[in-house]
Amino acid sequence: MRPLIARISSSALAHNLEVARRHAGGAKLLSVIKASAYGHGLSRAARALAASDGFAVLNIEEAVTLRQMGIEKPILMLEGPFDAEEMSAYSELNLTPVLHSPHQLEWLLLAGEPLNVFLKFNSGMNRLGFSLADFDAIAAWAKARSQVAQVTLMTHFATADEDFGIDWQWERFIAKAQAADLPISAANSAALLRYPETRRDWVRAGIMLYGASPFADVSAAELGLKPAMTLQSKIIAMQNLKPGEGLGYGLTFMADEATRVGIVACGYADGYPRHAPTGTPILVNGRRTRTLGRVSMDMLAVDLNNVPEAGIGSPVVLWGEGIPVEEVARAAGTISYELLCALAPRVALREEQ
């Protein structure tokens, strides 16, 4: 069997939830498990994160899966209904829509039983959300609808993970929200970790639950988080390059000294980033070394000059325990979120404690 697997640690997920819980203080905690729980598997993550106060997903299908598992907690639909037809499923499954645009308010009138709703306001990210200029009218409209049980006010930060911070958005939003005397949801992982004033009633934790840091300048370990996914494989072939010989497609790596090379069963068709250049960190036999040359569809190459005992069958960690996914992401010019979410369906997930 091909040795590439992604080990998913339930205890790491539960541990990270505890860390999020500590930061959340008294706020209720929604575990964001969209995109197959950032690649970790929806139902597996939902089980490991069962102590959450609710979940947040994107698609009806995800919400159906959660309800079929017997989960009765609130399920926040992060972009609300995508068409009017979805409203009947929202009613049947008792889902909590994020409502961000006027056309969704019309669809809301089709709901059967009263639903809790999150009204999303655009405080500066300019992606989703009602204008803050319309705040009073929209909040009043929603409160007066028989289709609405509880209104929660929501916004989303564009720069919570960056030096720019959140004040510029938070001040605009909270000025309106405070006066309305309704529950508030603003914090994602970065805001939850860095800006306690944004915790309020519901926090929405995503990336931190999976054990990755949302910040470029603070590691997951420094935040007390444990990687929930370890992508591991083995060396399936060896090469000995002489000085002047090249390696892989395009021969982008040229050996300037004798180089022992291991060929690893993992490539871009598995979700490993093709943009990872020579020098991307990787673990062989528990030791840090570097990738060499271009990543192929099903394979990549590693430098074994500093891992002399390594050979066929030696264990390789692409990311996870011992090698933070953020480091691999940085080398490839992307973020941990993208690598985790892009894990290919052909990679088997193995759940463990």
The site for ligand PLP (CB under 6 A) is made up of 32, 34, 78, 156, 188-190, 204-207, 214
Least distance (Å) between residue 58 CB and ligand PLP = 8
Nearer Cβ to ligand PLP, position 32 or 153? Answer: 32
Residue showing the smallest CB distance to ligand PLP in the complex: 206
> Is 90 tagged catalytic?
no
Least distance (Å) between residue 157 CB and ligand PLP = 9
Catalytic residue among 73, 249, 268, 272: 249
Nearer Cβ to ligand PLP, position 260 or 330? Answer: 330
Least distance (Å) between residue 209 CB and ligand PLP = 8
Query: What DSSP assignment string belongs to 50-68?
Result: TTSSEEEESSHHHHHHHHH
Catalytic residue among 34, 90, 272, 337: 34
> Is 176 tagged catalytic?
no
Nearer Cβ to ligand PLP, position 204 or 226? Answer: 204
**Type of residue found at 307:** V
Which tokens belong to 251? Answer: 């021969």
Asked whether the beta carbons of 328 and 280 are under 8 A apart, the reply is yes
Nearer Cβ to ligand PLP, position 290 or 330? Answer: 330
Least distance (Å) between residue 268 CB and ligand PLP = 24
Least distance (Å) between residue 308 CB and ligand PLP = 40
- Residue 212 CA to residue 72 CA, distance in Å, equals 28
Helix (H, G, I), strand (E, B) or coil at 225: coil
Asked whether the beta carbons of 120 and 84 are under 8 A apart, the reply is no
- Residue 183 CA to residue 199 CA, distance in Å, equals 11
Long-range Cβ contacts of 185-188 (<8 Å, 24+ apart): 185/30, 185/118, 185/152, 185/153, 185/154, 186/154, 186/155, 186/156, 186/157, 187/27, 187/157, 187/160, 188/32, 188/156, 188/157, 188/160, 188/214
Nearer Cβ to ligand PLP, position 44 or 120? Answer: 120
β pairing state of 148-154 and 184-185: parallel
Catalytic residue numbers, as ranges: 34, 249
